[in-house]
Amino acid sequence: MEIKKPALRDRIHEIIFETETPAGKAFDVLLLLFIVASVVVVLLESMEIYRLRFGSYLTALEWFFTLAFTLEYLLRIYSVYKPGKYIFSFFGIIDLLAILPTYIGLLIVGSHYLVVIRALRLLRIFRVFKLVNFLRQGQIIIESLRRSVPKITVFFFFILIVVTIIGSIMHVLEGGFNAGFSSIPKSIYWAIVTLTTVGYGDITPQSEIGRFLSAFVMVLGYSIIAVPTGIIASDLVRMPSGKEEVSNQSCRYCSSEGHDPDAIFCKYCGERLNP
């Protein structure tokens, strides 16, 4: 028994955390389907015509997915050597959040707000990205974005300051007769709508001078979009083209990922990786 049990844990860990074995792949595909299906249930429940007609079925499905995810969560905790590390990792918290709302819904009546937490389940899809070679590609994008962070932050502060000043000007110019500019925060909202070229049209300038300033904001927004694009493009050009492979192995001890294909020991905790 003492010998068999670790073998079972190893097997479970292999299926749930790794993706290179057939069983691991099958598990990931199933998990992907369950995540998508459970989010579809959340969407349908929010639509009155489906809630009224199929309400009980949707509740049943919701419980089915919740129990399945609960089982998976418990197996994950069981199969890693250091459960604490998993539980408080990013994905550990997301995994917990995926099951909590349904249980809380039992205790609290009218817990309508939990729908947001249930939608967070979608983040679990990133887990399954290991399945294909997306992980490395995502890392290139994220690495490039990480490098661009200081420049992009400067850019955001610039935007923030520009929309505040332009919002104040428009409030002074049109606030007197145009309800859309009756307060500075509302005018700032308009400035953002305009600068980002979204252009809802729910607030529009009505005076000549207001239209002139709007046109200026539009052309500004239309032009400065080039700045973050140029920053990210030039950072991506400087990146290596990302041919290297990354192993899909997951460390049993610290649940870390991103090991090199020829790695034998975990680079974060030094434990031996699954052979």
The Cα 68–Cα 41 span in angstroms is: 15
Among residue numbers 161 through 190, which ones bind its own copies (CB under 8 A)? Answer: 161, 164-165, 167-169, 171-172, 175, 182-186, 188-189
Nearer to its own copies, 61 or 119 (CB): 119
Compose the 2-41 pattern: x for residues touching its own copies by CB under 8 A, - for all others. Answer: -------------------------------------x--
- Smallest separation (angstroms) from its own copies to the CB of 11: 30
Nearer to its own copies, 33 or 226 (CB): 226
Q: Work out the burial of residue 101: count CB atoms within 10 Å of its CB; fewer than 13 is exposed, 13-18 middle, 19 or more buried.
A: buried
Nearer to its own copies, 162 or 263 (CB): 162
Nearer to its own copies, 83 or 228 (CB): 228
Exactly one of 154, 261, 270, 272 binds its own copies (CB under 8 A); that residue is 154
Among residue numbers 188 through 217, which ones bind its own copies (CB under 8 A)? Answer: 188-189, 192-202, 204, 208, 211-212, 214-215
Write the secondary structure of the chain as one string of H (helix), E (strand) and C (coil).
CCCHHHHHHHHHHHHHHCCCCHHHHHHHHHHHHHHHHHHHHHHHHHCHHHHHHHHHHHHHHHHHHHHHHHHHHHHHHHHCCCHHHHHCCHHHHHHHHHHHHHHHHHHCCCCCCHHHHHHHHHHHHHHHHHHCCHHHHHHHHHHHHHHHHHHHHHHHHHHHHHHHHHHHHHHHHHCCCCHHHCCHHHHHHHHHHHHCCCCCCCCCCCCHHHHHHHHHHHHHHHHHCHHHHHHHHHHHHHCCCCCCCCCCCCCCCCCCCCCCCCCCECCCCCCECCC
Among residue numbers 94 through 153, which ones bind its own copies (CB under 8 A)? Answer: 112-113, 115-116, 118-120, 122-123, 125-126, 129, 132-134, 137-138, 140-141, 144-145, 150-153
Does residue 264 interact with its own copies by CB under 8 A? Answer: no
- Smallest separation (angstroms) from its own copies to the CB of 132: 8
Among residue numbers 226 through 245, which ones bind its own copies (CB under 8 A)? Answer: 226-239, 241
Nearer to its own copies, 231 or 266 (CB): 231
Q: Which of 172, 223, 210, 214 is nearest to 193 (CA)?
A: 214
Nearer to its own copies, 75 or 232 (CB): 232
Nearer to its own copies, 29 or 219 (CB): 219
Exactly one of 23, 74, 209, 225 binds its own copies (CB under 8 A); that residue is 225
